[in-house]
Structure 1
Amino acid sequence: MDAVDLVDSVGWTRSSALTWSRLAPNPGPMTLDGTNSYIISAPGFAGVVVVDPGPVDEPHLRALAGRGMVELVLITHWHRDHTAGSRRFRDLTGAPVRALAAAYCLGGQPLQPGERITAAGVRIEVIATPGHTADSVCFWLPDDGPTGSVLTGDTILGRGSTVIDYPDGRLGAYLRSLETLERMGPARLLPAHGPVLPDLAAASGAYLAHRNERLVQVRAALEQLGPQASAAGVAAVVYADTPVEVRAAAELSVAAQLEFLRGGSTAVRGARADDVK
């Protein structure tokens, strides 16, 4: 087992040299095992930064609050499995909550793309990664181990692929975000759902390839069904094996793919739903 992939007796996982994660008790078709909430702190520092407090679950929020003096709360994007507990968590800790979207900030200013934050003894850089949602961001910790780490929210998951929450999320923006993350190299990937992955560049490249394959499949479905086929009709062909409980999410991604293609875009290279993660 990797030295930082250790689970203690009370539900905390050592996810990297500078982070611990705790799984919220909200498993489901769209959240996988649940939402990973993260604690960031440098050795010897009493303060912590919390990323995505998760749902309104009192034991989970109290466990996060009990890890140290919470200096700051950061939000990767607006979906409720990441943000619903923010207000209660602020009541517990008094810490400001910062997100890219002002509506999800509490006592703090909106994040700015490229902003550099130092808190709990750790350097944190805000990387704008729109696509899954318009306000999605990742957090880069350049000093976290030999390659650094990136908290990716739902932009890249530890298992499977994420939905494009169209029309808030857009495929063109998402592809550019994946390319941005791929260029960052082999950082440790800390996702909001699923296990930690060792190589951000490899995961980003795999996601780009997957999106390219889906675009090929959507084009083929349009040739079969006609150019004006609906997202539901295309999803029934392209995502025929998708379980019924996530079919609505598949239709959102197809809608994003159709907009992308009908706007004249080609393949990846050379080429508001509250329950959606």
Structure 2
Amino acid sequence: MTTPSAAAAVILYRESPNLEVFWVRRMLQMSYQGGFYAFPGGRLEPHESPRDAAVRELHEETGVQIDPDELRDAGRWVTPPITRQRFDTQFFLARCPPDQTARVLSSEHDVGEWIRPQDAIRKWREGSILIAPPIKHALNSLSEGLSGVEARLKSAPDARSAGGTEIEMRRGVAFVPLRTPTLPPATHTNCYLIGDDDVVVIDPASPYEEEQALLDRVLEKRRARIREIWLTHLHRDHVGGANHLRQRWGAKIAAHPITARDLAGQVHVDRTFAPNETLDLEGQPGWRLRILHTPGHARGHVCIFEELHGSLITGDLIAGFGTIIIDPPEGRMADYLDSLRRVLALEPTALFPAHGPVIGDAAGRIREYIKHRLEREENILMAWRRGVRDAAAIVAAVYTDVDPAMHGFAERSVTAHLEKLRDEGRL
């Protein structure tokens, strides 16, 4: 588990006459929460206190200068262990001096504006923006006014949790990170809960009893009806808790016909997806889910596209960090690249992967994946033409940026590339 970096952030507010906060949108290209709305802040420098860091970051990013003694404690949040970039962030509340103007000064942000907390929450409820749980909690707390706000800001029960909580960065697209026997560098699989009163559960992944109990508690707290359990593909770190959830909640399991066939005798699949199947879920703002067959990582792999707001639940088509292993014969590189191109054409607005954090720069990440694979393929082809024919030797020559501990997995991807090149008549 990655040790969180110490950080500080400032919830800057004014009354003009309505209560407003100043928030910023992180540039899409940012490696951490690109495209998300947040409050000004950043990492602590060596030997710097959270208060001093908050004052410095606020001034660097907005031009507003405040006295450290004017900062009010607004709670502390720790990033759950689903990503390699984690932060232990101390939040502060501060009134903007009336003679100063907040504006965007940092190259990390492309938008900065004053907004009423209620209006910010409304935008989120409409499904049009991405915000992390600390930001949503702060906005909800401030929506009730300044009286008693410090106690509300510090009241979040999951603020310092190491994991096991429901995370909802876009309205109605929530996930619970569950510890699973997955492949490194991942340690968890995100189980998605889509909807409101009625939910579809996607990839109840964990075979571990304590993780299954954790997911049960989240569902009990929600008091939602499970419409169905959907599986993105057959791998054990995606289906490990499916039978338990079916038995515990009486919900049926659905999967692609190939996945249902391959899981026969292991997971009780009640029905199979129809081609291009859709499901509408009522609520605010409402959700329309479309099943997309996206083979490549697995023959029966599917993604789920929420068409009204552009959320793509990617399964193992795309990860929040690193790349995806394509392991023949189950995996086929040509199919994988075709699946990436097809989901890119849908113009998704955010990617919700099975492993790692939500990705705001959807198109950028998909293009990056395609470019990365094609560059690898060209380098593999060049090595082949130099007479390097063994997969392990090709990995040693081409995958020089990969940890040697991962070379065995890289060999499987090399095999997939070679199969594709042979099929295309390029070897």
* Displacement after TM superposition at 1:165 (Å): 1.9
Find the counterpart in structure 1 of residue 403 from structure 2. Answer: 243
Residue 30 (1) aligns with residue 187 (2): no
Find the counterpart in structure 2 of residue 213 from structure 1. Answer: 375
Alignment map for 1:82-231 (pairs within 5 Å): 82-100=238-256, 101-103=259-261, 104=263, 106-119=268-281, 122-144=287-309, 148-226=310-388, 229-231=389-391
Equivalent residue letter for 1:132: H
SS at match of 1:35: strand
Question: Paired residue for 1:4, among 131, 146, 155?
Answer: 131
Number of aligned residues = 258
2 CA distance for matches of 1:28 and 1:50? 19
Matched-pair contact (CA < 8 Å) for 1:71–1:120: no
2 CA distance for matches of 1:49 and 1:118? 11
Find the counterpart in structure 1 of residue 236 from structure 2. Answer: 80
Matched-pair contact (CA < 8 Å) for 1:185–1:199: no
Matched-pair contact (CA < 8 Å) for 2:182–2:188: yes
Max Rg structure: 2
Equivalent residue letter for 2:133: L
1 CA distance for matches of 2:291 and 2:322? 24
Gap change, CA 1:113 and 1:202, over 3 Å in 2: farther
1 CA distance for matches of 2:320 and 2:425? 28
Matched-pair contact (CA < 8 Å) for 1:35–1:192: yes
* Structure with more contact order per residue of length (Cα contacts < 8 Å, sep ≥ 6): 1
SS at match of 1:204: helix
Matched-pair contact (CA < 8 Å) for 1:49–1:120: no
TM-score where L is the length of structure 2:
0.56
1 CA distance for matches of 2:166 and 2:311? 18
SS at match of 1:134: coil
1 CA distance for matches of 2:269 and 2:411? 36
Which piece of structure 1 moves more, 192-201 or 257-266? 257-266
1 CA distance for matches of 2:420 and 2:174? 38
Percent sequence identity over aligned pairs: 32
* Displacement after TM superposition at 1:120 (Å): 6.2
Equivalent residue letter for 1:85: G
Matched-pair contact (CA < 8 Å) for 2:260–2:269: no
1 CA distance for matches of 2:274 and 2:182? 32
* Displacement after TM superposition at 1:155 (Å): 0.2
2 CA distance for matches of 1:139 and 1:95? 19
1 CA distance for matches of 2:166 and 2:364? 26
Question: Paired residue for 2:213, among 62, 83, 86?
Answer: 62
SS at match of 1:98: strand
2 CA distance for matches of 1:90 and 1:219? 47
Matched-pair contact (CA < 8 Å) for 1:15–1:190: no
Which sections of structure 2, spanning at least 5 residues, go unmatched? 1-35, 38-129, 135-155, 159-163
Residue 233 (1) aligns with residue 356 (2): no
Larger relative strand fraction: 2
SS at match of 2:408: helix
2 CA distance for matches of 1:41 and 1:252? 37
Matched-pair contact (CA < 8 Å) for 1:182–1:202: no
Equivalent residue letter for 1:17: R
1 CA distance for matches of 2:362 and 2:169? 14
Which sections of structure 1, spanning at least 5 residues, go unmatched? 267-277
Equivalent residue letter for 2:260: A
Matched-pair contact (CA < 8 Å) for 1:131–1:174: yes
Gap change, CA 1:170 and 1:139, over 3 Å in 2: same
